[in-house]
């Protein structure tokens, strides 16, 4: 009999805790963001019943549908896909944390909506570690200037970095994770306004234990919980 999504979620929690312990870290430092992908409805409710409190969605409209259908007021929703400027207003209504800030005009759009509402938008900056044309994100070299440009935006709080490593084996992924951690630490020493770089969103189903070993504070897990994407 195949394990249920709830059982697979509990297995992921156990593996994450063991990976943290092996690295001398407190498992409580690592948040598992359940990447809902195209899954939702009762299977998502099942995972929440098993203890999940952080759910990631790639699209604003899918998050809106799940929030309306499921309720679940104790769940924190994360924007883990690319955010379009025309979706900023509903995104601010839905998401606890945006993982994919990758351009100045988006930061300015977030500020324009958040400021009148007296909101602080919690964001991570997406980094394109491998200069891959098919991926969003800023190059590591562009990050200092970007953070300086965003610093005057008083309602956009930069809390860390996010990256998806270039394709490769687990050792190559781990080197990418280490690079992102080192980049976060170096930028943190700049002490820029509105940038408290504590978070590292890195690691997915195939490599989250390596990411935790290199300092991930958020891991985005979909396939290991739900199985292959439906579409």
In tens digits, the chain (231 residues) has pLDDT values of: 789 999 999 999 999 999 999 999 999 999 999 999 777 678 899 999 999 999 999 999 999 998 888 877 789 999 999 999 999 999 999 999 999 999 999 999 999 999 999 999 999 999 999 876 777 899 999 999 999 999 999 999 999 999 999 888 999 999 999 999 999 999 988 888 788 899 999 999 999 999 999 999 999 999 999 987 655
Q: Rounded to an integer, what is the distance from CA 114 to the centroid of its chain?
A: 20
Where do the structural domains in the chain lie, given as residue ranges?
A: 5-226
The verdict on pTM exceeding 0.85 is yes
5-226 folds as TIM Barrel (3.20.20)
């Amino acid at each position: 009999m195949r394990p249920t999504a709830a059982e697979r979620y509990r297995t992921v929690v156990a593996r994450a805790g063991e990976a943290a312990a092996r690295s001398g870290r407190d498992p409580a430092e690592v948040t598992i963001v359940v990447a809902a992908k195209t899954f939702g409805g009762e299977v998502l409710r099942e995972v929440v019943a098993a203890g999940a409190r952080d759910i990631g969605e790639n699209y604003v409209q899918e998050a809106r549908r799940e929030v309306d259908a499921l309720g679940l007021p104790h769940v924190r929703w994360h924007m883990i896909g690319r955010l379009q400027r025309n979706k900023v207003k509903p995104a601010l209504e839905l998401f606890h944390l945006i993982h994919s800030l990758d351009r100045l005009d988006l930061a300015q759009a977030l500020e324009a909506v958040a400021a009148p509402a007296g909101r602080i938008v919690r964001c991570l900056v997406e980094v394109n570690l491998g200069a891959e044309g098919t991926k969003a994100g800023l190059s590591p070299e562009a990050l200092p200037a970007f953070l300086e440009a965003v610093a005057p935006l008083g309602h956009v709080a930069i809390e860390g970095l996010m990256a998806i490593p270039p394709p490769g084996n687990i050792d190559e992924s781990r080197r990418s994770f280490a690079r992102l951690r080192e980049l976060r630490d170096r930028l943190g020493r700049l002490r820029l306004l509105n940038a408290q770089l504590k978070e590292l969103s890195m690691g997915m189903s195939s490599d989250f234990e390596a990411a935790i070993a290199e300092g991930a504070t958020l891991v985005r897990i979909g396939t290991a919980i739900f199985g292959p994407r439906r579409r």
